Amino acid sequence: MAGMHALHKIIANRTRPSLAKVSPGEFVEIEPDVFGVIVGVNASDVKRLAADLEELGIDRIPLRDRIYAVADHASPAPTVAIAGAQKAFREFFKAHGIRTFDGGAGVSHLVLCEEGLVRPGMLGIAIDSHAPTMGAIGMYACSLGGGRLTLYAIGRYVIEVPKVTLVRVTGTLPPGVAGRDASLYVNGKLGQRGAYNHAVEFAGSFIESLSMDMRFTFTNMGTEMGAVASYIQPDRTTLEWVRQRTSEPFTVFETDADYVYDTVHEVDVSGIGPQIAVPHAPDDVRPVDEVAGRKVDQAYIGSCASGRLEDMAETARVLKGRKVHPDVRLIVTPGSREVLKAATELGYIQVMHEANAIVTSANCGACPGLHGGILGPGDVAITSITRNFEGRMGPGGEIYLASPATVAASAIAGCITNPLAA
Amino acid sequence: MKLTGKVWKFPQHDISTGLIRRQMYNHLPPQEQGKHCMEALDPSFASKVAPGDFIVAGTNFGCGSSTPAHYSIAALGIPAIIAESFGALFFSNCAGGALWPVACPGILDLVETGDTLEIDTDTLVVRNVGSARSLQGRALPEIYRGMILAGGEKPYLRERLRREAAG
Ligand code: SF4
């Protein structure tokens, strides 16, 4: 009998009734360790949920101790309607004893990891397409499809056990080229369907050499390959990072030696330069030099892909002693309060202020096009966000995706710029 | 149970939820969304289709965002979608919305628009009534089958909670 992948062991561990083994393609009912939800922007949504639960006679939500709500999208509220919706959501969560993180805590996946609320070996479901980001710590994390009411009412969910694609990344980067460049390069190589409906595992000497910050960048961008979950096998780096944040116990599951991956990709990142994804596809990736010189109106650093301390350090390194071009607005939105506090202590935020950058509180910021840097028609933006689909940051805007260093260098020059040449 | 209806075939692959029902109609009441069902691919679809008819589609039907595009299909009285394969989020949304999502490799070669198709919801065998050729659809997980038979996610939960309370 062929061996099992760590992800399949994690899923099997949470099956109800409990199964010793699960196989790709099988649908199984599970009880998640954690259910991540958002403080939404549509009041009718939470009103319907509350009414449905009442109709079903549920006054104590079974998972209430493991549900975490984060106000990351459009928070603090940019409009009266959204403020009303967020109020309705907060009241609902409070009434049910669900812990809520309010605007300024950061992006949900990063907050749950940093707070130690998710740990290796866990199974988490979250209402957000980038939930797989949390797989960087060695858990199974997927986005919620249908079945929200079932999760609230009886604490169960149905998962189709995914096949696993292995992406083995090797090589070393030239100085000044960032983890995000390598991640963009891998997305370009695999394409938007490179791991479609599969779970994707990132491994290889390059991944092993990465800090947790950059590992989150990789697992985050699994979503842009169509993956349902992303995973990195926990190692010393992971365990140190997790143990700094929680003393709760956890289990590290290992992939059996005889496990056969459905698909294996080898990517060598040796010698690549700074990369950029051009409008309107996150896999239309090229060397930055190919589009250098294109004028930009807005530069944006943040999001769950590149809003971590290492990203803030890179930004400050490029901005130090320089000024943002007068025709450009550079907005920096740290990924979490932990990042913002550390970046403040380390002096990075001061460097940004000196450079005339606009530094915001920690949340999703401009990434989903709801506030904090919406693009107008014809605006060109260079950003470190997750995806550059048409109209994402505002109708008629064009979005380029690049590393924080490239975004910062372009903000100074007023046009797309290779940070190594700047 | 057997369902019999007329086929409307969309042979394209990768029809996303945004093409099934454009995102701009997301805020409309579910019943209203029917008028805009599939309009990005066939603007007159909603006016031609009759309750009980089926949609037949290619691979990966309903890929993309988890937006409840299935409302627009259910609103037209379409009881089932038979596709080469489905996007995962859409697939689970269909079950919660009491729509049969029948994954059936080979369906595009089995039927054309206007043909009459029969689905045995117990076995998920689909049969072209005219040619008498049939194919085996992929089995549905028990919980999804339960939701569809109960009339959707909420009635299913009501029954399940009652059953569990009764022990
Ligand atoms: S930062 Fe962007 S991609 Fe990440 S959760 Fe927020 S809106 Fe989504």
Domains of chain B, CATH where assigned: 2-166 (3.20.19.10)
Q: Is the pLDDT of residue B66 over 90?
A: no
Instruction: Report the distance separating Cα B167 and Cα B159, nearest Å.
Output: 12
CB contact under 8 A, A150 and B92: no
Q: What are phi and psi of A125, to 5 degrees?
A: -125, 135
Domains plus CATH for chain A?
9-167+176-263 (3.30.499.10), 278-413 (3.30.499.10)
Q: In what order do the strands lie in the sheet with A229-231?
A: A229-231, A199-203, A164-170, A263-268
Nearest residue of A to residue B70, measured between CA atoms: A146
Closest CA to A205 of A168, A255, A256: A168
Q: What is the DSSP string of A181-217?
A: HHHHHHHHHH-TTTTTTSEEEEESHHHHTS-HHHHHH
Beta bridge partner(s), residue B4: B118
Asked if residues B21 and B71 have their Cβ atoms less than 8 Å apart, the reply is: yes
- Residues 6 or more apart whose CB falls under 8 angstroms from that of A142 comprise A124, A125, A126, A131, A132, A159, A228, A229
- The ipTM of this complex is 0.89
Provide mean pLDDT across the span A270-281. Answer: 97
pLDDT at A161 over 90: yes
User: Do residue B154 and residue A57 have CB atoms under 8 angstroms apart?
Assistant: no
Q: What pLDDT digit, counting tens, does each position of A318-354 carry? A: 999 999 999 999 999 999 999 999 999 999 999 999 9
What's the confidence (pLDDT) of residue B156?
A: 97
Tell me, in angstroms, the distance from the centre of ligand 1 to residue B146's CA.
34
- The residue whose C-alpha atom lies closest to atom 6 belonging to ligand 1 is A364
CB contact under 8 A, A56 and B143: no
User: Strands B116-120, B2-10: parallel, antiparallel or unpaired by DSSP?
Assistant: antiparallel
Fill in the DSSP letter of residue B137.
P
| Residues with Cβ within 8 Å of residue B47, at least 6 apart in sequence | none
Computed over every residue of chain A, the mean pLDDT equals: 96
B88 and A153: CB-CB below 8 Å? no
Half-sphere exposure of A387 (CA within 13 A, CB side): 17
CB contact under 8 A, B161 and A143: no
**What 3-state DSSP class applies to B167?**
coil
Q: Does A45 touch chain B (CB under 8 A)?
A: no
Residues 66-125, chain B: which have Cβ within 8 Å of A? 66, 87-97
Given CB atoms, is A145 within the 8 Å cutoff of chain B? Answer: yes
Taking only Cα atoms into account, the Rg of chain A, rounded to an integer number of angstroms, comes to 21
What's the average model confidence in pLDDT over A194-218? Answer: 97
C-alpha torsion angle, residues A85, A89, A92, A96 (rounded to 10): 180
CA distance A146 to chain B (A): 4
Length of chain A: 422
Contacts with A28 from chain B: Cβ below 8 Å: 141
- With contact defined as beta carbons under 8 Å apart, do B90 and B70 qualify? yes
Classify residue A414 as exposed, middle or buried by CB count within 10 Å of its CB (0-12, 13-18, 19+). Answer: middle
For A89, counting Cβ atoms within 10 Å of its Cβ (0-12 exposed, 13-18 middle, 19+ buried), the class is buried
From first CA to last CA, the distance across chain A in angstroms is 56
What is the share, in percent, of chain A residues with pLDDT greater than 90?
A: 95
Cα(A131)–Cα(A146) distance, integer angstroms: 15
A197 closest CB neighbour out of B27, B88, B94: B88
B28 interfaces chain A, CB cutoff of 8 Å: no
Mean pLDDT of all residues in A132-136: 98
Residues in the ligand 1 pocket, defined by CB under 6 Å = A 72-73, 107, 128, 130, 303-304, 364, 367-368, 385-386
Protein residue with its CA nearest to atom 4 in ligand 1 = A304
Distances (CA, A) of B58 to A413, B12, B87, B121, B129: 48, 5, 11, 20, 20
- Find out whether A142 and A278 touch, Cβ atoms under 8 Å: no
Which conformational region is residue A344 in: left (phi greater than 0), alpha (psi within -120 to 50 degrees), or beta? alpha
- Give the pLDDT of residue A146: 87
pLDDT over threshold 70, residue B101: yes
DSSP state for residue A229 in the 8-state scheme? E
Q: Which of B93, B141, B154 sits opposite A146 (nearest CB)?
A: B93
Cα distances from B159 to residues A207, A250, B1, in angstroms, run: 48, 36, 20
What chain A residue is nearest to B62 in terms of C-alpha separation?
A145
Closest C-alpha among A199, A113, A201, A202 to residue A159: A199
Spell out the residues 6+ positions from residue A184 whose beta carbon is closer than 8 angstroms to its own. Answer: A221, A275, A276, A277, A285, A401, A402, A403
Token pair, residue B27, equals 């805020």
Q: How far is the CA of A189 from the centre of ligand 1 (A)?
A: 23
Q: HSE of A12 in the Cβ direction (CA atoms, 13 Å)?
A: 13
List Cβ neighbours of A233 (8 Å cut-off, separation of 6 or more).
A6, A138, A201, A203, A254, A255
With CB atoms and an 8 Å threshold, state whether A228 touches B88: yes
Residue B109 has pLDDT above 90, yes or no: yes
Q: How much is the average pLDDT of A383-388?
A: 96
d(C-alpha A386, C-alpha A283), whole Å: 11
Residue A218, pLDDT > 70, answer: yes
Chain B contacts of A154, Cβ < 8 Å?
157, 160-161
Number of helical (H) and strand (E) elements in chain A, helices listed first: 13, 18
For A154, the closest of B89, B97, B160 (CB atoms) is B160
3-state SS, residue A274: coil
Band of pLDDT at residue A2, cut at 50, 70 and 90: confident
pLDDT digits 0-9 by tens, A240-254: 999 999 999 999 999
Position B67 pLDDT exceeds 90:
no
Residue to mutate among A23, A27, A196, with most B CBs inside 10 A, is A27
pLDDT band at A1 (very low <50, low <70, confident <90, very high): low
Beta-strand ranges (E) seen in A317-421 are: 329-332, 358-359, 380-383, 398-402
Q: Checking DSSP bridges between strand B116-120 and strand B125-128, what pairing results, if any?
A: antiparallel
pLDDT band (50, 70, 90) for residue B25: confident
Alpha-carbon distance A250 to nearest alpha carbon in chain B (angstroms): 29
Q: Do A158 and B143 touch (CB under 8 A)?
A: yes
Pocket-testing residue among A144, A385, A386, A399, ligand 1, by greatest number of atoms within 8 A of Cβ: A386
Residues of A in contact with B160 (CB under 8 A): 154
Tell me: the pLDDT tens digits for A66-89?
999 999 999 999 999 999 999 999
Nearest to A373 by CA among A343, A401, A399: A399
